[in-house]
Chains A and B, each alone.
Chain A
Amino acid sequence: MRRLKKYLTIFKDVKIPWILLMIYLVLSMISSHMEVGAMTMTASIIDASQNAIRSDELIEYISVIAVSGILTIATGYLSGISLNTINRGVRVKLWNKIMRLPLSTNDLDNGAGLITRVTTDADASSQYVNMFFSLMTTAYGAVISLQQLFKFNIKMSNMFLLLVPWALLVGVFNCKFSYKAGAFYRKTVSELMAYLSERVRNFKLIKSTVSEKQEKDHGNDKVRRVYKAGLINIGVGQFEGVCEDLLSLANLIICFVYGATLVQSGELSIGRVIGFYSISGMMLIRITQFIMYFGELSKANGTMKRICEIMNTEDEKSEGDHFDYPDEDIVLKNVSFGYKPDKLILKDISCTIPKGKITAVIGPNGAGKTTMFKLLERIYTPDSGAIYYGERNIAEFALEGWRSAFSIVSQDNMVMSGTVRENICYGVTRNVTDEELIAVAKRAHCYDFIMETPGGFDAEMGMDGSNFSGGQRQCIAIARAMMRNPDYLLLDESTSNLDVKSEKIITEALSNLMKGKTTVMIAHNYSAAKMADYIIILKDGQIDAVGTPEQLKDHSYFQVFSKRGV
């Protein structure tokens, strides 16, 4: 029950079409009545036809079937609308929540999990509601059927009741074992798929190392496991089928054998025997269905829990002081940080990023440079120590204000689908004139290739900007940074993965961008770091050295570093 209450929070603020759902319930109940009624009518038609067929009875029968059909359609439609509406509401709520989550959640999850939340998990929430209502309607249907059975004949109904616990048992068995068998089978299949897709994507490796035979054995092994799991799965399914058949058989015997004796003693008519058989058969199915719905509910538990987790994660803290102070140095004081508690990436670093200057942070892979940037962007907060802006801790400022003061150009030049214009003006709220757009594009060295592309500024970038080359995307990202014209620039290896030609162009565009601003850049080679006024060398999460290029010219790492590149 407590769990249910927790799940209810998922639907808070989601518009639930209560009226539609109530109508759906009522109509379902009427539909159950009609179903049972139709079968009862068959009974009296058959009985009456001993003497004569009364055509008005037949007409009544056919109209009952017709109305029943209409009701089924109506309930289907109503439940469809209601569930889809709930579905949409939960999705929008999840999407809203994701927007407000701290960026650190996204980093750890790598995004893929969050996407499933909004696409398929949201579905599970409406399915949950659906199952609930299905439980109610099935139960109601079973009760009415039972009522009718007793109306037909009490003795036979009592016999029938003996079957009910067995039906329940079959339902429970189905829930437990076939679910487990199915899950195990799916697991072996997904292992096979993962194996295959890894191998197929790296076919070259198998061929160049002549490992075909090993892989053949490896693959066969995985296939055998799927086979065994499949056998178990089928076995369980068949066993369950046999149980259900046995139940039907038992029902048949009760109705026709025991029923025959009742007919002979005049306690029951033939028509009613047939009616009883139809209704009791349906009831057995309803009972197993009822248990299965319960099973579905518990299967959905996992998904519901995940959704709850996200809903209950704290939003990113957005309050704080307004950030509108004159240029100051950014100072890191004894900052330590690790993504995981036992592994520190940055160990007690203290350094100054001087205002108005270009500072380059260099060091080997994994030294902690990108991590330092993430702390500057306030995606994460330091485990100990703090970053100061002048005299004030940056954590005091409101996130939005702090972040708007920075522009980031990184190596994975984040451009998205949309037009070139939309990407360059991304996040800019003021009206941008065409002249301004062209001027910025020229300074970012992308005007020429944009004009050469059909559509110019209105050309589509493609998913992740795939319609343009790496160098061109980078220029557009720089144009965006220029358009926003922030006071601080963070450049994260913005010229890596580029060839010499493109790198020259980008570096020029960047120097245009950096004029008059405080810049912190992570540089991977010397041509990128050439313009720096101040260098910070990070190694193994600690400051190895700081100083101007002149001061560092005898430092070993710096020597190797500056020999590279043109």
Chain B
Amino acid sequence: MLGIRMDHYGDSDPSGLTSTITNDLDTAIERMVVVAVRIIPDIYYIFTALKTIGDYNFVLMISVFLILPIKILNTIFLGRWNYRTQAGVYRKIGSLTGYLSERIKHLSLIKTNANEARELASGEKVIDELYRANMDVVKYGVVSGAVSTVIGVLQNVVTVVFGVICLQRGIIDIKQWIAFFMYAGTLSGKFDSMINYWINFKTIQGGLARIARLVEAPQEQSDNPALLQEMPESRDIVFDHVSFSYGDKTALKDVSFTVKENSFTAIVGLCGSGKTTAIHLIERFYDADEGEVRIGGVDVEKISSRALRKGISLVHQGAGIFGGSLRQVFTYGLDRDVTDEEILAVAERTGALDYIRDLPQGLDTVVAAEGTSMSGGQRQRLVLTREMLRNTQILLLDEPTAALDAVACQKVKTAIQEAAKDKTVIMVTHDLYLLDIADQVIVLENGCLQKQGTPEELSGIIERYAEVCPCED
């Protein structure tokens, strides 16, 4: 899955993908193996037992099959009912969880509004619904139990009656009757097993389909020798009549602009105007439908994605990090070795040092998975530090100051200004305060290039296009 293309990833729900790799795979393989291993001995047993009974008497052997059709029907109908009631229970548990998590999250709202009594009542109602769903399962159990009993009784009646008749007619003797009686019992069990194997097989179908889709998903091709394995010398970025859509939703329409080498360009626009898409196209998470994105005069699609991404630092909107020590966070994906002093020096410029200084274990401090032990602002500064450490020629930033307060913002602004002296910097932002150090501002609206120019030229109109967009990560 690591190799798949970003557009396929974007189409799938991340938790669904995780579940595919773990649960689906687990259940599918477990069931396939169980079936494969057990089905052969079971088939062998059934054949041998039937043959033995058949040796006693042919009619006797047929009698064993009499109950089979009823069993199959029973499994199908009751199986469906069972599935529905179980699904009902899971749904109710889900809605109870959803209801509770919302209420608990807003518990202070409930308390400050002194609304406890009413919330208690509505909570009880939801709990009652779960109770009723569970009772449905019990009722199902009653009915299925009754049906099983009836089938079991019928089974016994048939075997006993047939056996007695044969015995009385002298067709079989008492030893054979006893053997037949016991065989009938075990055969009944084996038939049940066979039906279960079939059911198992059907249940894993869904999971197998999802796994197959993942395995067959188109891969990114990095090792194609036709691609350039190194970034071009000059680092100006050009969008040449670029259009791109996510499915049928247009994100960029015929957008053209140039970002000169070693300059700072800001991209602004309302939500959904295509700002983040532009960044994605430079990184080649997606390929343009029409037009070209060029770096140093070379179409990005002609550069291997490996070389391309190694040459670009991306501070993306979610400011994602992986758990581990702070040192690991800072050096994630870094090819060269860095000393602690180097890390701290860059951290000083971005303001992340303030946070590190207070930690007793410094760079060895362990950060929780996805950085949940830190505030959004702290994470943003860490991620900025990481990308600055990477020290590539191109720096892309997507809303790098959304969670920062006034003073921290000021520091970041200075750091970016410094960086722009020898890097090509593109920043998507809604924060008007950061725009006055930009060399160029690009305004996007509904995927089209609306305005382009220096901050002074656009000073009256930029305000209209500043909007905070929800993070898509």
| B113 contact set on A, CB distance < 8 A | 404, 426-427, 484
Q: Kindly state whether residue B112 has any CB partner on chain A within 8 Å.
A: yes
Residues of A contacting B468 in the complex (Cβ-Cβ under 8 angstroms): 470, 497-499
Q: Which A residues between 4 and 55 are near B, CB-CB below 8 angstroms? A: 46, 49-50, 53, 55
Interface residues of B in 129-169 (CB under 8 A from A): 130-131, 134-135, 137-139, 141-142, 145-146, 148-150, 152-153, 156-157, 160, 164, 167-168
B310/A210 in contact, CB under 8 A: yes
A88–B124 Cα gap in the complex (Å)? 9
Binds B, one of A139-147, A194-202, A279-287, A381-389: A194-202
Please tell me if the beta carbons of A564 and B104 are within 8 angstroms of each other in the complex.
no
- Whether the pair B108, A560 counts as a contact (CB closer than 8 A) is no
7 closest Cβ pairs, A-B complex: A427-B113, A209-B333, A69-B149, A80-B138, A202-B320, A499-B467, A73-B145
With A49-B167, A201-B473 known as contacts, the answer to whether A564 contacts B433 (CB < 8 A) is: yes
Tell me which residues across on chain B come within 8 A of A70, comparing CB atoms. Answer: 146, 149
Bound complex: CA of A331 vs CA of B318, how far in Å? 40
Contact, CB under 8 Å: A62 / B156: yes
Complex contact A365–B408 (CB within 8 A)? yes
A329 within 8 A of B: no
Scoring A70, A366, A498 by chain B CB atoms within 10 A of each residue's CB, the highest score goes to A366
Known contacts A203-B9, A212-B3, A470-B470: A500-B164 contact under CB 8 Å: no
Please give, as numbers and ranges, the residues of chain B lying within 8 Å of A65 by CB-CB distance.
149, 152-153, 156
A524–B405 touching, CB < 8 Å: yes
Q: State the CA gap A383–B410 with chains docked (Å).
A: 35
Complex alpha-carbon distance, A326 and B64, angstroms: 90
- Which one, A114-122, A127-135, A253-261, A288-296, is touching chain B? A114-122
The residue that B177 contacts in the complex, of A49, A95, A416, A526, with Cβ under 8 A, is: A49
Considering the chains assembled together, what is the distance between the CA atoms of A401 and B386 in angstroms?
50
| A561-B146 in contact given A98-B104, A103-B107, A198-B370 (Cβ < 8 Å) | no
A205 at the interface (CB under 8 A from B): yes
A400 to B116, CA, bound (A): 11
Contact between chains at B141 and A80 (CB < 8 Å): yes
The yes or no answer to B17 lying at the interface (CB within 8 A) is: yes
Q: Say yes or no: A205 contacts B316, CB within 8 Å.
A: yes
Q: Is there an interface contact between A464 and B111, defined as CB atoms closer than 8 Å?
A: no
Q: Decide: A207 and B134 in contact? CB cutoff 8 A.
A: no
Q: Smallest CB–CB gap between B23 and chain A, Å? A: 9
Contacts A210-B309, A215-B2, A427-B113 known; list 8 others, CB within 8 Å: A46-B178, A62-B153, A80-B142, A106-B108, A114-B104, A119-B97, A210-B310, A484-B113
Interface mask (A255-276 → B, CB under 8 Å = 1, otherwise 0): 0000000000000000000100
- Can you name 5 A-B residue pairings with CB atoms under 8 Å? A69-B148, A207-B6, A404-B112, A408-B108, A500-B432
Residue B339 at the chain A interface, CB threshold 8 Å: no
Asked whether A208 lies within 8 Å of B316 as measured between CB atoms, the reply is yes
- Are the C-beta atoms of B369 and A115 separated by less than 8 Å? no
Residues of chain A from 178 to 215 with CB closer than 8 A to chain B in the complex: 189, 192-194, 196-212, 214-215
Residue in A closest to B372 when the chains form the complex, CB atoms: A110
Q: A364, B405: Cβ atoms under 8 Å? A: yes
Determine if A566 is an interface residue (Cβ-Cβ < 8 Å).
Answer: yes
CB of A565 closer than 8 Å to a CB of B: yes
Specify which chain B residues have a CB less than 8 angstroms from the CB of A69 in the assembled complex.
Answer: 145-146, 148-150, 152-153
B106 within 8 A of A: yes
Does A379 have its Cβ within 8 Å of any Cβ on chain B? yes
The reply on B344 being an interface residue by CB < 8 A is: no
A115 interface neighbour in B101, B106, B141, B156, Cβ under 8 Å: B101
In the complex, the chain A residue whose C-beta lies closest to that of B94 is A119
Which of A99, A111, A212 has the largest number of chain B CB atoms within 10 A? Answer: A99
> Could you tell me the dominant secondary structure of chain A's interface residues?
helix
Smallest CB gap from A66: residue in B? B153
* Chain B residues numbered 422-447 whose CB sits less than 8 Å from any CB in chain A: 430, 432-433
A81 touching B135 by the CB < 8 A rule? Answer: yes
Say which residue of B309, B405, B410 sits within 8 Å of A207 (CB atoms).
B309
Given A208-B314, A211-B332, A365-B408, are A88 and B141 also a contact pair (CB < 8 Å)? no
Q: Closest CB of chain A to B136's CB: distance in Å? A: 10
Interface residues in A506-553 (C-beta closer than 8 Å to B) = 524-526
Q: CB distance A209 to B332 under 8 Å?
A: yes
Residues of B within 8 A of A449 (CB): none
Q: A203-B9, A403-B112, A414-B109 are in contact. Are A464 and B102 (CB under 8 A)?
A: yes
Residue numbers in A under 8 Å from B192 (CB-CB): none
Q: Does A557 contact B (CB under 8 A)?
A: yes
Q: Which residues of B contact A49 (CB under 8 A)?
A: 167, 174, 177
Residue B456 is within 8 A (CB to CB) of chain A in the complex: no
Chain B residues closer than 8 Å to A192, beta-carbon distance? 22
Contact of A499 among B21, B309, B466 (CB under 8 A): B466
What is the CA–CA distance of A84 and B116 in the complex, to the nearest angstrom?
25
> A565 with B160: in contact, given A53-B167, A201-B14 (CB under 8 Å)?
no
**Is there an interface contact between B112 and A194, defined as CB atoms closer than 8 Å?**
no
Q: Is B60 an interface residue (CB 8 A)?
A: no
A377 within 8 A of partner (CB) = yes
Query: Does B127 sit within 8 A of A, measured CB to CB?
Result: yes
In the complex, per-residue mask of B105-130: 1 if CB is within 8 Å of any chain A CB, else 0: 11111111111100110011001101
What separation, in Å, do the CA atoms of A502 and B164 have in the docked complex?
88
Assess whether A88 is in contact with B156, with CB atoms less than 8 Å apart. Answer: no
Residue contact A119 to B93, C-beta cutoff 8 Å: yes
Interface residues of B in 359-393 (CB under 8 A from A): 369-370, 375, 377-378, 390
Q: Which residues does chain A contribute within 8 Å of B310, judged by CB atoms?
A: 210
Q: Does A87 contact B (CB under 8 A)?
A: yes
- Give chain A nearest CB distance to B74 CB in angstroms: 14
* CB-based nearest A residue for B402: A497
Which of B18, B285, B323, B407 is close to A364, meaning CB atoms less than 8 Å apart? B407
Q: Given A500-B432, A524-B406, A561-B406, does the pair A365, B377 have CB atoms closer than 8 Å?
A: yes
A96 within 8 A of B: yes
Question: Is there a chain B Cβ closer than 8 Å to A406's Cβ?
Answer: yes
Q: Which of A65, A92, A197, A525 has the most CB of B within 10 A?
A: A197
